[in-house]
Amino acid sequence: MENEIQPIDPSEIIHLEHIDDALLLKRLTLFIYDLLQHNFEKLCALMYRHDVKENLFNDALLLPNDEERAKAIAKIVIEREMLKMKTREMYRTHKNENKLKDK
């Protein structure tokens, strides 16, 4: 059972220090697949909370089956979370540069 891939909530992505991209995609896909099957309202709320573009989410929902939908949505979420992390880092760097200039 140790080798079994466990799902991951999107909010946990930013707390991961080291994870293989393929493993992250698999874990998030499992999580999203379960939501597609059992709790679509929660999935929609998560997409809103993670600021996923509605048109990308809707395009993913048009795919022919839940496996493809889940994988496409997982990719969208990962891209969005990575963008948020980069933005935070740029803001942090810019803020630190301004502090140095003020001294």
Tens digits of pLDDT across the chain (103 residues): 345 767 677 767 666 666 788 988 999 999 999 999 999 999 999 999 989 999 999 999 999 999 999 999 999 999 998 888 888 888 777 666 666 566 5
Report the sign of the C-alpha dihedral through residues 52, 56, 24, 19, in that order: negative
Measure the CA–CA gap between 73 and 96, rounded to whole angstroms: 35
Predicted local confidence at residue 2, as pLDDT: 42
Phi then psi for residue 33, to 5 deg, are -60, -45
Total-model pTM: 0.76
Q: Give yes or no for a contact between 29 and 71, defined as CB atoms under 8 angstroms apart.
A: yes
Measure the CA–CA gap between 29 and 86, rounded to whole angstroms: 22
